[in-house]
Amino acid sequence: MREARTRFPAVMAGETVFLDNASGAQLPERVLDAMQHAMRTLQVNKGGHYPASQRVTAAKERVRERTAAFLGAPHDAEGVAFGANATTLLFLLAEAVVDTLEEGDEIIVTGLDHHANRDPWLRLARRGVVVRTWAPRSADGALHLGDLEGLLNGRTRVVAMTAASNLLGTHGPVADVGARLADHPARLVVDAVHHAPHALPDVAAWQADAVAFSPYKVFAPHLGALWIHETWRAELPDWGLSFLPTGPLRWEPGTQNHEAILAWGAALDHLTWLGERLGVPGEESERARWRAAYHAIDAYERRLLERLLTGLDALGAKRYGARGLDGRTATVGFTLQGHEPLAIAKYLGKAGIAVTAGHAYAERLVTEHLELPDGVVRASLLHYSDESDVDALLAELATIVT
């Protein structure tokens, strides 16, 4: 991963130690170049009959195809819609779903989730929909399948859950839930925003009906993406202008951020390059190269995570989320006794170390399930992080506790 790190200009500049990566990833040089090229030469709208418009239309649709493959739904580009961010797209999805529900129908959300996959569904209570919460039992944030069984019934229509907690890194048992719902009428909606920078999404293995993620967490500019399974989208009223054909255009109301979409394609190129550097030949599918890249990313991030967890334990920090390396991403929520998380983040910020403090939009998880009104300090690693980043954080924290 050393070579990969050198491809991120902001990281190499050395001004900031980026440990708030769960808030948004830094961009490799090729992504910056792709976005600038798009804005210099393709700052036009799609659908025109002149070369620049034809090029941007074709390029955008190619990225849509690759996004479907990235999610594990090859040949289903029509299931992919782009938008401002995952939160906005999930609100659009929920507002479409409510028109298919009856008063008394039920939706299950989780206490582990970012509010992007809670609040859109909670709003549906205004239409008589019953919303139930599948809560984690303890500070590790784990969701237990037995608890889901107590919530599921014949009126359940949606289970909305995260593939990984953006605050604690804890994995959600997505594939297990998908298997449980295989013979149940409820649809599975997965928030893969925090999962996607660390592991390759797989909508087929999850048996998901809809998956949202944010390319800007996966080394691209600010952008969201939503995939809906063809059997469900055929049932849903969609958005957009009435004269447009059904399909992705209806789920992309208004002009999209074409330059960000094309730059997301360059972020996929980065992952492809990484897979090829690891020895996956070019004749293999792009997804095979992404799979190899993510396998290496996981192994590398686990080594960094072990260094971070060991250091935090030595400092007497209280950690939340999984205790060890398994069942989590390289994202850690912690507190230091006698020091407010916000004060810690400000102190670190003065030293050029970026972390997040508070609830990171998982407010209900923090206040209700962890009972931490001031939240936690969150440090989050990605594959461009290295030992020097971890050591810088630990050294500054040591000056706080001594």
* Cβ–Cβ under 8 Å, residues 71 and 325: no
Placement of tokens 């999404």 in the chain? 201
Q: What's the CA gap between 123 and 82, in Å, rounded?
A: 23
* Cβ–Cβ under 8 Å, residues 140 and 169: no
Domain boundaries defined on the chain: 2-19+287-401, 32-267
Per-residue pLDDT of the chain (402 residues; tens, 9 = 90+): 889 999 999 999 999 999 999 999 999 999 999 999 999 998 998 889 999 999 999 999 999 999 999 999 999 999 999 999 999 999 999 999 999 999 999 999 999 999 999 999 999 999 999 999 999 988 889 999 999 999 999 999 999 999 999 999 999 999 999 999 999 999 999 999 999 999 999 999 999 999 999 999 999 999 999 999 999 999 999 888 888 888 887 899 888 999 999 999 999 999 999 999 998 887 789 999 999 999 999 999 999 999 999 999 999 999 999 999 999 999 999 999 999 999 999 999 999 999 999 999 999 999 999 999 999 999 999 999 999 999 999 999 999 998
Domains 2-19+287-401 and 32-267 equal at CATH topology level: no
pLDDT at 247: 80
Q: What's the CA gap between 370 and 379, in Å, rounded?
A: 17
Q: Which CATH superfamily is domain 2-19+287-401 in?
A: Aspartate Aminotransferase, domain 1 (3.90.1150.10)
Q: How would you classify the pairing of strands 106-110 and 130-134?
A: parallel
331: left (phi over 0), alpha (psi -120 to 50) or beta: beta
pLDDT at 241: 84
Q: Could you tell me where the DSSP H helices lie in 80-173?
A: 86-97, 119-122, 145-149
279-201-108 Cα angle (round to 5): 165
DSSP 326-378: TTB-SEEEEEBTTB-HHHHHHHHHHTTEE-EEE-TT-HHIIIIIS--TT-EEE
Residue 244 structure tokens: 């447009």
225-226-229 Cα angle (round to 5): 150
Q: How many CA atoms lie within 13 A of 230 on its CB side?
A: 8
pTM over 0.85: yes
Backbone CA torsion sign across 280, 281, 284, 286: positive
* Cβ–Cβ under 8 Å, residues 161 and 191: yes
Q: How far is CA 331 from CA 94, 117, 157, 282, 384, in A?
A: 28, 19, 31, 32, 14
> Is residue 213 helix, strand or coil?
strand
Torsion angles phi and psi, residue 129, rounded to 5: -80, 135
Does the domain at 32-267 match CATH 3.20.20.70? Answer given as no
Assign 3-class secondary structure to 116-134: HHCHHHHHHHHHCCEEEEE
Q: What's the CA gap between 267 and 125, in Å, rounded?
A: 38
Placement of tokens 């399948």 in the chain? 145
Q: How would you classify the pairing of strands 210-213 and 224-228?
A: antiparallel
Placement of tokens 């990225």 in the chain? 63
DSSP β-bridge partners for residue 379:
332
Which residues does 60 contact at the CB level (< 8 Å), separation at least 6? 46, 256, 258, 261, 262
pLDDT at 254: 86
